[in-house]
Amino acid sequence: GMWVARKCQEKVSKYQFQNFKFILNIRITKLQAD
């Protein structure tokens, strides 16, 4: 049970990290556009 939970946690944190980079890229692009 713990192994499955850990695998899910890894997927979630990986997704959150990609989402974070995506938002960061949008903000940088907006700053450069101004």
pLDDT of 26 > 90? The answer is yes
- DSSP tally for the chain: helices H, then strands E: 1, 0
Which residue matches tokens 């899910």? 8
Report the pLDDT averaged over residues 7-17.
Answer: 94
Q: How much of the chain, in percent, has pLDDT values that exceed 70? A: 100
Q: How far apart are CA 32 and CA 27, in angstroms?
A: 9
Percent of the chain at pLDDT exceeding 90: 79
Residue 23: predicted pLDDT: 96
pLDDT at 1 over 90: no
Provide the mean pLDDT of the chain.
92
DSSP letter at 13 equals H
Amino acid identity, residue 8? C
Can you tell me the mean pLDDT for 7-24? 95
